[in-house]
Amino acid sequence: MRIRVAAWILISAFAAVLVRADVMTYGDEDCLGTLCYGASDPTAGATLQGLAAGVVTDATNSYGHSFPFSPDGGDFAGTDQIYVGSSQTGAHDGYSVSAPRINGPQVLTMDYSSLLSAGETIQTLTLGIAADDFQFPVFGQPFTAKVDGTVDTALTNELNSLNETGPVVHFFTIGLDPSIDTSSHTLTLSIDEGGDGGDGWAVDFLTVGVTGTTSAVPEPSTVLPLGLAAAALVFFTFRRRFRLS
């Protein structure tokens, strides 16, 4: 029995599993350059990592702001930009007739490889979006969201449920299927609008949260004491058996 215990101590030392979670932000949290957040945290109340696929959490607050606005040279590609549908034939809000608007789809590519270590396995993948001026319930122009080229029904439904009634930023997070993770550890989000394309929208910033597990090789300072303890247990077990025989 003591031999088994000793072996288990050694196995446990080398088979330790670390679970960790990290979050990366893409873009400036500056309310599309209007600074409407003030000193508050626009993500407060939302869960930034650890969500199961399809689960949505919302930030506590929403933030109205002025417009128009345009991205500056330092903004993350695709953020702080007013979009309309890829084919716009109508206009329903101020964004849809503002000069800075461009046609969709809005494409945002996020590299989260720095959140992962070699050999790490992703357990959950959580996307956060500071969504601005989505108003499908009012104007009836449907949004479609794709992740890595495939329609994400849960995310599409969430965007179409937003009724921000004008230039308002609201942050939410949604769990994605971790099986979409590839060796490049990048995520491409595409948002477009159907109908007449005349309901403008924007995104201020995004987050990606990763929960991963990795087998940890212990430090030599940890392995040596454990190995000595295991060896001692084996030695005294054999010595005791020898005397009893």
**Which pLDDT tens digit goes with each residue over 111-130?**
999 999 888 899 999 999 99
Q: For tokens 């929208």, what's the residue?
A: 201
What are the sequence ranges of the domains in the chain? 1-16+216-245, 19-213
Q: Does 42 sit behind a cis peptide bond, omega within 30 degrees of 0 on the bond before it?
A: no
89 contact partners, CB below 8 Å, separation of at least 6: 196, 197, 198
pLDDT digits (tens, 9 = 90+) for 146-197: 999 999 999 999 999 999 999 999 999 999 999 999 999 999 999 999 999 9
Q: Look at residue 17 and tell me whether its pLDDT is greater than 50.
A: no
Tell whether the model's pLDDT for residue 202 goes beyond 60: yes
Residue 20: pLDDT over 70: no
Q: What is the pLDDT of residues 21-65, one digit of tens each?
A: 799 999 999 999 999 999 999 999 999 999 999 999 999 999 999
Average pLDDT over residues 78-99: 98
